[in-house]
Amino acid sequence: MTDSNKSSHGEWSSRMAFILAATGSAVGLGNIWKFPYITGENGGGAFVIVYLMCVLLIGIPIMIAETMIGRRGKRNPIGTMALLAKESDADPNWHYLGWLGVVAGFLILSYYSVIAGWGLSYILNVFTGSFSGAGGEKVQTIFNDFMASPLQQLFWHTVFMVVTMSVVARGVTEGLERAVQWLMPALFFLLLLLVAYAMSTNSYFKGLNFLFNTDFSKITGQSVLTAMGHAFFTLSLGMGAIMVYGAYLPKDISIARTTVIVAGADTLVALLAGMAIFPIVFENNLQPGSGPGLIFQTLPIAFGNMTGGWFFGILFFVLLVFAALSSSISLIEPAVAWLVETRNMTRQRACVWAGAVTWLLGLGTIFSFNIWSEFKIFDRTVFELLDYLTANLMLPIGGFCIAIFAGWVMKQEHCKKELHLTNPHYFEVWRFLVCYVSPAAVFLVFLNVVGVI
Ligand code: PHE
């Protein structure tokens, strides 16, 4: 069936449409919310370098592999893996890799939606003028009160899930493509504006220094794992999102070139977010390591005190929510595609089911910030556990298997045909990375974390 030319869900209308959608998936809360706070928790510059190395040596080769697998299979990740395993005379159990992705997607979206809900609530906060002229303390109090309220978070989590499901219900080109077209450029512009504000503070260089000054004594095995996990998370790798987007990619488009563009844009957005946030952190004597609330405790100070802050603040949180939305639709798309293809459901119905399950799981994250904050499994709250399990374990394991599959299991002539690289040396470089470098790097990081090396 690999010869049928199109996925049954439709196709991206152009190369640009794919680039936008894949960038939409990659750029999200991971860049603006997560990257700054984990950089803060892991000591700054050295962590950033490890993360950049991971993007380059592990992320990009695996992203090429995942898109390629998706385009060849042209269906949901479970079906794609089953089909390509058969085509390569490999073990049918490879289809479990698709399952791993679908489950990871649910788990990630369950907490992703809660955080996106924080963004929604902050649109209203800025709108009502809660932050105008506010200093660090006031902003902190607003954040803490919000964290203490399960009901408010539940409300916004519900709104976000409903919106996500209604976009996904409209399908690939109608829903997904349209949503991301104007959003990425606008977000980029606003980040530049925030960086300009950060430059106007006295702590700009202190912030930059924190972000780029490499002190490797701060790096531990766990922080390398976090950096690697984040490379997967931020590029949407290892769980079938990029695979399913690849499935909607027309044949003649160059996978390698588009991947490099997407990964480059994603990295740039993360670095800009860091450059905007850390100067504000230091300027207001906040702690870089203050965790998941970091952007919600820093950026409102900027908006509360800069000219036009009300307008830009609303715009920023609106764009943050849109960036989250264009990622969340890719988190749920593998499951929806699977339900539609194999359970004979309509797209709408599949969305309702997938959304309901995710919504329910999200309660665990909401409660972990208040009524369950003392409830710990392996020393972690529900949110922390979900984050660790998905970003640090499931995505790297998924990515590792994708590399092995593309490098060792698939027939090389199939890979060559899909990638159709003009320069044959590029193919060799990619193959070397995906066969040896990327899997070995993931493996070594795991060995180090479990204490073997
Ligand atoms: N890449 C997204 C972000 O950075 C999150 C994501 C992870 C999306 C995995 C899809 C799949 O916010």
CB of 108 closer than 6 angstroms to any ligand 1 atom: yes
Question: DSSP state, 380?
Answer: B
Q: How many CB atoms lie within 10 A of CB 205?
A: 12
Mutate to test the pocket of ligand 1, among 160, 236, 389 (most ligand atoms within 8 A of CB): 236
Name the nearest CA neighbour of 229 among 109, 111, 392: 392
pLDDT range class, residue 3, cuts 50, 70, 90: very low
pLDDT of residue 181: 74
pLDDT range class, residue 143, cuts 50, 70, 90: very high
CA atoms within 13 A on the CB side of 267: 20
Name the nearest CA neighbour of 323 among 231, 187, 195: 187
CB of 23 closer than 6 angstroms to any ligand 1 atom: no
Helix H or strand E encompassing 275: helix 255-283
Helix H or strand E encompassing 257: helix 255-283
pLDDT of residue 172: 63
Token pair of 333 as six digits: 């798309």
Our separate counts of H helices and E strands in the chain read: 23, 0
Residue reference for tokens 């997904």: 176
pLDDT of residue 8: 77
**Cβ-contact 191, 269 below 8 angstroms:** yes
Name residue 135's amino acid: G
For 395-432, how does the pLDDT look when each residue is reduced to its tens digit (9 = 90+)? 999 999 999 999 999 999 999 999 999 888 999 999 99
Which residue's CA is the closest to the ligand 1 atom numbered 11?
236
pLDDT range class, residue 218, cuts 50, 70, 90: confident
Which residue's CA is the closest to the ligand 1 atom numbered 9?
236
Tell me the C-alpha distance between 134 and 121, whole Å: 17
pLDDT of residue 189: 87
pTM of the predicted model, to two decimals? 0.94
Average pLDDT in the chain: 92
Taking the alpha carbons at both ends of the chain, their separation in whole angstroms is 45
CB of 20 closer than 6 angstroms to any ligand 1 atom: no
Task: Please say if the pLDDT value at position 2 is more than 50.
Answer: no
Specify the length of the chain in residues: 453
CA separation (Å) from 419 to 65, 69, 70, 84, 152?
9, 10, 12, 16, 48
CB of 270 closer than 6 angstroms to any ligand 1 atom: no
Task: Please say if the pLDDT value at position 235 is more than 80.
Answer: yes
CB of 331 closer than 6 angstroms to any ligand 1 atom: yes
**Cβ-contact 167, 286 below 8 angstroms:** no
Angle at 99 between CA 114 and CA 366, to 5 degrees: 15
Name the nearest CA neighbour of 366 among 177, 161, 190, 175: 161
CA of 126 to the centre of ligand 1 (A): 26
CB of 234 closer than 6 angstroms to any ligand 1 atom: yes
CB of 236 closer than 6 angstroms to any ligand 1 atom: yes
Tell me the C-alpha distance between 192 and 186, whole Å: 10
CA of 124 to the centre of ligand 1 (A): 25
